[in-house]
């Protein structure tokens, strides 16, 4: 009894393969004819062939898995979980890379120095951060706040904020960010 069901599944899969290959062959010939008639460029035709090939391989893989009795819902759930983890990792890496790149740009642009008094101003008029620059590394800048409620509190501000927000600066007699980084002071007072 179970043999008949298996034979039916195998026959259905074989028929599906034949249909997919016939359709793939027809589409490939159609793309080649468009290329010969100069309606599409050879690069466009090659790209279309690759896309069609990958779509058909994916459909065939799904058909084989279905015929083998593998539930695709679990596979899709696992695939989506992996993709979401990759997306979270990409965003975290992008944020890290953004801060490093901004730190390098800040060293080259010399927008402030260790010991300068700066204020990051929110364009919308919200409260910003105001204080003296006391440390710098490629990821963040250490600011010692001088507000009445926060005297002496040190805040590590991500470097990409300095290139995204308005910055007020009262120059001091400090050292450049690159000199501070090379010196290895790592957040000590200037």
Q: Per residue in 85-132, pLDDT tens?
A: 988 888 888 888 999 999 999 888 888 999 999 988 877 766 778 899
Average pLDDT over residues 152-179: 86
Residues 90 and 173 in one domain: yes
Domain boundary among 70, 101, 124: 70
Domain that holds residue 102: 74-190
Residues 23 and 104 in one domain: no
Give the total number of structural domains in the chain: 2
Q: Which DSSP state fits 173?
A: S
Among the candidates 70, 88, 121, a domain finishes at 70
Distance in angstroms (rounded) separating the CA atoms of residues 60 and 14: 10
> DSSP for 10-36?
HHHHHHHHHHHHHHHHHHHHHHHHHHH
User: Which pLDDT score is estimated for 134?
Assistant: 92
- Give the model confidence (pLDDT) of 48-99 as tens digits: 888 888 888 887 787 777 777 777 777 778 888 998 998 888 888 888 899 9
**Rounded to an integer, what distance in angstroms lies between the CA atom of residue 36 and that of residue 46?**
13
Question: CA angle 117-104-123, nearest 5°?
Answer: 50
Q: Show the beta-strand stretches assigned E in 13-161.
A: 117-121, 129-136, 140-145, 154-158
- Asked whether the whole model's pTM tops 0.75, one would answer no
Using the 8-state DSSP alphabet, how is residue 122 labeled?
A: P
58 with 107, same domain? no
C-alpha 150: how far from chain center: 36
Mean per-residue pLDDT for 178-190? Answer: 64
Do both 60 and 151 map to the same domain?
A: no
Give the pLDDT confidence score for residue 190 in this predicted structure. 40
Q: To the nearest whole percent, how much of the chain has pLDDT over 70?
A: 91
Cα separations in angstroms, 100 against 94, 103, 104, 185:
10, 5, 6, 18
DSSP strand pairing (154-158 vs 166-170): unpaired
Q: Are residues 14 and 29 in the same domain?
A: yes
Residues 78 and 59 in one domain: no
pLDDT of residue 186: 46
Of 70, 93, 111, the last residue of a domain is 70
- DSSP 3-state assignment of 56? helix
Residues 12 and 63 occupy one common structural domain: yes
């Amino acid at each position: 009894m179970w043999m008949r069901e298996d034979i039916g599944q195998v026959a259905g899969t074989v028929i599906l393969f034949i249909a997919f290959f016939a359709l793939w062959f027809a589409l490939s010939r159609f793309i080649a004819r468009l290329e010969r008639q100069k309606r599409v460029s050879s690069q466009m035709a090659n790209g279309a062939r690759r896309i069609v090939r990958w779509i058909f391989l994916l459909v065939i893989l799904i058909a084989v898995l279905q015929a083998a009795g593998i539930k695709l819902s679990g596979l899709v759930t696992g695939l989506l979980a992996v993709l979401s983890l990759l997306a979270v990792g990409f965003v975290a890496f992008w944020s890290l890379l953004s801060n490093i790149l901004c730190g390098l740009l800040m060293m080259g642009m010399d927008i402030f120095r260790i010991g300068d008094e700066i204020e990051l101003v929110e364009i919308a008029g919200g409260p910003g951060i105001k204080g003296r620059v006391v440390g710098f590394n490629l990821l963040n800048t250490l600011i010692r706040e001088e507000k009445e409620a926060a005297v002496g509190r040190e805040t590590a501000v991500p470097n990409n904020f300095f290139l995204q927000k308005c910055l007020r600066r009262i120059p001091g007699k400090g050292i450049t960010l690159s000199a501070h980084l090379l010196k290895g002071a790592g957040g000590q007072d200037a």
